[in-house]
Amino acid sequence: MTALLAYTIFGLVTGGAYAVVAGGLVLTYSTSKVFNVGHGAIGMVMAFLYWELAENRGLPQWLALLIVVGGCAPLFGLVIERFVMRRLAGAPVGITLVAGVGVLVGLIGAAQVIWPPQARPVRPFLDQLGVHIGQSFVSGHDLVTLACAVLVAGGLYVLLNRTRTGLAMRACVDAPELASLYGTRPHRLSALSWAIGSALAALGGILLTPVVQLDYVTMTLLVITAYTAALVGRLRSLPLTFVGALGLGLVQSYAVAYLPSSPFWISFRAAIPALLLFVVLLAMPQSPLRIGGVRGSRGVAVPTGLTAGVGAGLFLGVVVALALLVDSVVAGQLALALVFGIVLLSMVLLTGYGGVVSLGQFTFVGVGAVTVARLGSTSPLTLLAGAAVAAAIGALIALTALRVSGLYLALATLGFAQLMDKLVLQSPIAFGVRGSLQVPKLVESATAQLLLAAGVFALVGMGVLAVRRGRLGRKMIAVKDSSAACATLGMNVRWIRVGVFALSAAIAGLAGGLFAQLRETVAASDFQLFNNLPLLLFAVIAGVTSVSGAALGGLLLMLLPVLQSGFPAFAGAAVVLLGVAAAGLARDPNGLVSWFFRAWSWRRA
């Protein structure tokens, strides 16, 4: 009984901190219709800043808290709103998500440069204080956390329902143009909501540091927990969001208390937010077929079969010439770039053509790699087996998440990636107890590897273009533009989506197999959850709507770690720049490649 009470209190306290973070998320989403994937990252950076002031510089805790939550965080929210989010008003979900991912990756890069990895203990608030409830002890920090949660809940409720400003904020979401005809100042309102939102992210982050430790990625991924809570309230209702957050805290706390402590169950605990995410998603009502909403996001021209064939021929010619010229190290790196390029081709199909944003595409690469590694054969057929397993899992996730679309679907893929990460890829099931596996190479020399990767890239690229030109491609574009119109035409929207998802997962799995045999040793650390985010970023920056964009993106993805090992400080800056670039480029979904092409056609004109 005493233990139950203690775990309940612990759960409520953690849930209270989640509630603060989730409340900020709901506020920014419900007032600007931009789901900020970088919300957790803002909390992370602000918690580091708090450590810097309170622990490193020795400021009093209250002063540091005031400076961070009352000054730096709102200011940062204003900057993000002014320079990133304002330009995205009314943009499709995919684009706003990528901007958020850009912010996230940029912040992680910045944090790693400013605060290099080391242990950073943070003192809890009011550590001399505390009360005994029965036999369990509630610390001062716990009390502060609970008080903050209650204050934030009440404050947000009053703001949105009882004040004119809050009412105007909600009006701006409903009909921004009309709201400005009513005399409200839309920019000022959205700036305010971003300022409050990031202040809450900061507060939640700081309150959680004694629980989750100061870490770049763990705190950033708190957004999944906060998102699950927000989803309970359908991203709109604050009271339900708070209930969701407290429930989540309790479930996690009871899981620590009452689940067995074998390795599987320990990883299971970490996967609880993602699991609950799926439960909530399954309980969501079917999202209505979207009517209208077609935005003028023009894709790049689709090459004809002949052009694609000639292009593939030219591409192979260039690669053969390179293979003859460069040494084996460079050849290996180029092969890796092309393997990444194949992963990005899977996103061209899914995101570029299908309009479905996946935040979990790298997970399929991991699945393909594990399959090939486990089979351990030198037959090229193992690659196909990897693709098949990935396709099956892709179809499964698509079926599970079929009820939802757009933003919900994108975040479901992130939840899925976390689930796979905790339960499969990072557990002994995938890579064994040592966490790494040996893979026999399909072809020996680096030059042969390069040619193999180039051949597969050319084939898959032509295949993706053929799909786009064909019947399925037309249907995909139609579903993306207006699913409602498709349904009235008698098309089965669901199976098209499941098919596209599976096909895209298969391509990623194929790339995973190639990756595994190219590397010879693959480890759990190669397929961490976080890798999914730069993948989407590079895909969009390079151009997610074209095959040439995939090739460019692959090259950039390969170059990043090379830079990182050569010039660590520069690489950190590069990641920040990338985040900024993504946020800026997000307006043009066709990416850098289309920019090159446009520059070229301008010269010809």
Nearest to another protein of 167, 399 (CB atom): 167
Q: Does 175 bind another protein (CB under 8 A)?
A: yes
For another protein, the closer of residues 35 and 51 by Cβ is: 35
Which CB sits closer to another protein, 186 or 406?
186
Quote the CA–CA distance of 374 and 303 in Å, as a whole number: 39
Q: Which is nearer to another protein, 78 or 167 (CB)?
A: 167
Q: Does 158 bind another protein (CB under 8 A)?
A: no
Per-residue x/- track, 184-203, another protein (CB under 8 A):
xxx-----------------
In angstroms, give the least distance from the CB of 318 to another protein.
39
Binder among 75, 129, 178, 294 for another protein (CB under 8 A):
178
* Strand-pair partners of 522: 437
Among 79, 89, 167, 573, binds another protein (CB under 8 A): 167
C-alpha pair distances (Å), 148 with each of 184, 194, 315, 512? 30, 19, 59, 45
Nearest approach, Cβ of residue 158 and another protein (Å): 15
CB 267, CB 61: distance < 8 Å: no
CB of 161 to another protein, least distance (A): 9
**Of the candidate residues 1, 181, 433, 605, the single one contacting another protein (CB under 8 A):** 181
- Which of residues 182, 258, 570, 595 is near another protein by CB under 8 A? 182
Q: Taking CB under 8 A as the rule, does residue 599 contact another protein?
A: no
Does residue 357 come out as left (phi exceeding 0), alpha (psi in the -120 to 50 range) or beta?
beta
CA separation for the pair 88, 586 (Å, rounded): 8
Closest CB to another protein among 30 and 371? Answer: 30
**Which of residues 10 and 29 has its CB atom nearest to another protein in the complex?**
29
Would you say 260 or 296 has its CB closer to another protein? 296
Rounded distance, CA 443 to CA 520, Å? 11
- Verify binding: residue 164, another protein, rule CB under 8 A: yes
The answer to the question of residue 298 lying near another protein (CB under 8 A) is no
288 binds another protein (CB under 8 A): no
Compute how many residues bind another protein; rule: CB under 8 A.
18
Alpha-carbon separation of residue 544 from 205, 316, 342, 451, 590 (angstroms) = 33, 21, 12, 24, 6
Rounded to the nearest whole angstrom, what is the least distance from the CB of residue 182 to another protein in the complex? 6
Distance of closest approach, residue 186 Cβ to another protein, in angstroms = 7
In order of 246, 259, 262, 502, 528, the CA distances from 265 in angstroms are 22, 7, 5, 29, 19
CA distance 501 to 324: 37
d(CA 165, CA 198): 18
- Closer residue to another protein, CB minimum distance, 298 or 474: 298
Segment contacting another protein (CB under 8 A): 102-110, 180-188, 347-355, 454-462? 180-188
The residue type of 317 is: G
What's the first-to-final CA gap in the chain, in angstroms?
A: 80
The window from 144-152, 173-181, 493-501, 562-570 that contacts another protein (CB under 8 A) reads 173-181
CB neighbour list of residue 362: distance below 8 Å, 6 or more residues apart: 343, 417, 508, 527, 531, 532, 535
Among 101, 107, 138, 173, binds another protein (CB under 8 A): 173
Find where tokens 């944090």 sit: 111
Query: What would the DSSP string read from start to end of 462-491?
Result: HHHHHHHHSHHHHHHHHHHH-HHHHHHTT-
Residue at token pair 């419900």: 30
Determine the Cα angle at 79 with ends 76 and 82, to 5°.
Answer: 150
* Binding of another protein by 168 (CB under 8 A): yes
What is the rounded CA–CA span in Å between residue 47 and residue 49? 5
One of 58, 117, 183, 285 touching another protein (CB under 8 A): 183
Q: Which of 27, 44, 88, 171 binds another protein (CB under 8 A)?
A: 171
Q: Is 177 in the site for another protein (CB under 8 A)?
A: yes
**Residues sharing a CB contact under 8 Å with residue 296, sequence separation 6 or more, in sequence order:** none
For every residue of 322-361, DSSP letters joined together read HHHHS-HHHHHHHHHHHHHHHHHHHHIIIIIIT----S-H
Our CB check for another protein shows the closer of 165 and 445 to be: 165
Does residue 180 belong to the site contacting another protein (CB under 8 A)? Answer: yes
Q: Give the per-residue contact string, 390-429, with another protein (x = CB under 8 A; - = no).
A: ----------------------------------------
Separation between Cα atoms, residue 440 and residue 372, nearest integer Å: 9
Kindly indicate which of the ranges 3-11, 177-185, 226-234, 346-354 contains the residues binding another protein, using the contact rule CB under 8 A.
Answer: 177-185
* Rounded least distance, CB 35 to another protein, Å: 17
Which positions touch another protein (CB under 8 A)? 164, 167-168, 170-171, 173-175, 177-186
